Amino acid sequence: MCRTLLCLIVHASVLVSADLEWSQLPPIPDPRGFAGSFAGVSNGALIVAGGTHFIDRMPWEGGTKLWYDTIHVLDKPDGRWRVLGRLPKPNGYGVSITTPEGLVIVGGGNATQHLRDVFWLDNNVALPPLPKPCAFMSGCVLDDVIYIAGGIETPNATSAMNTFWSLHLKKLGAQWQELPPCPGKPRILSCMAAANGAVHLFSGAALSAGPDGKPVREWLNDAWSYKPASGWQKLPEMPRVAVAAPNPAPVIDGKILIIGGDDGANANFEPKSKHPGFPRSILAFETQTQTWSEAGEVPFSLVTTNAVPWNGLIIIPGGESRPGVRSPQVWNAAR
Decide if 333 contacts 314 (C-beta within 8 A): yes
* pLDDT tens column, 148-199: 999 999 999 999 999 999 999 999 999 999 999 999 999 999 999 999 999 9
Domain count, the chain: 1
Decide if 34 contacts 304 (C-beta within 8 A): no
128-137 average pLDDT score: 98
* Three-state secondary-structure class, residue 175: coil
pLDDT-derived band at 256 (thresholds 50, 70, 90) equals very high
Question: What phi-psi label fits residue 208: left (phi over 0), alpha (psi between -120 and 50 degrees) or beta?
Answer: beta
Range of the domain at 18: 4-334
Q: What angle do CA 215, 219, 224 make, to 5 degrees?
A: 120
Neighbour-count burial of 262, counting CB atoms closer than 10 A to its CB (0-12 exposed, 13-18 middle, 19+ buried)? buried
* pLDDT beyond 80 at 305: yes
* pLDDT beyond 80 at 235: yes
What is the per-residue pLDDT for 124?
87
d(CA 286, CA 288): 6
Q: Where do runs of H (alpha helix) occur along 158-208?
A: none
Decide if 33 contacts 302 (C-beta within 8 A): no
d(CA 217, CA 215): 7
pLDDT-derived band at 56 (thresholds 50, 70, 90) equals confident
pLDDT-derived band at 334 (thresholds 50, 70, 90) equals confident
* Three-state secondary-structure class, residue 6: helix
20-44 average pLDDT score: 96
Higher pLDDT, 8 or 228: 228
147: amino acid identity, one letter: Y
CATH of the domain at 122: 2.120.10.80
What separation, in Å, do the N-terminal and C-terminal C-alpha atoms of the chain show?
Answer: 14
* pLDDT beyond 50 at 14: no
d(CA 203, CA 262): 10
Q: Kindly list the distances between the CA atom of residue 244 and the CA atoms of 119, 159, 250, in Å, as whole numbers in the listed order.
A: 23, 17, 14
323 φ, ψ to 5°?
-50, 125
Where is average pLDDT lowest: 120-124, 140-144, 248-252, 278-282?
120-124
280-291 average pLDDT score: 97
238 φ, ψ to 5°?
-70, 150
pLDDT-derived band at 13 (thresholds 50, 70, 90) equals very low
d(CA 94, CA 106): 6
> What residues contact 172, with CB distance under 8 A and at least 6 apart?
none
What is the per-residue pLDDT for 178?
98
9-33 average pLDDT score: 70
Where is average pLDDT lowest: 5-19, 41-55, 295-309?
5-19
**Sign of the Cα pseudo-torsion (223, 282, 97, 83, in order):** positive
pLDDT-derived band at 4 (thresholds 50, 70, 90) equals very low
Q: Is the peptide bond prior to 271 cis by the omega test (within 30 degrees of 0)?
A: yes
15-19 average pLDDT score: 45
pTM here is: 0.93
- In the chain, pLDDT over 90 holds for what percent of residues? 90
Q: Where do runs of H (alpha helix) occur along 214-277?
A: none
DSSP assignment, residue 36? Answer: S
pLDDT-derived band at 243 (thresholds 50, 70, 90) equals very high
d(CA 153, CA 243): 19
* pLDDT beyond 50 at 3: no
**Torsion angle defined by CA atoms of residues 153, 303, 217 and 58, in that order, rounded to the nearest 10 degrees:** -90
Q: How many CB atoms lie within 10 A of CB 65?
A: 15
* pLDDT tens column, 76-95: 999 999 999 999 999 999 99
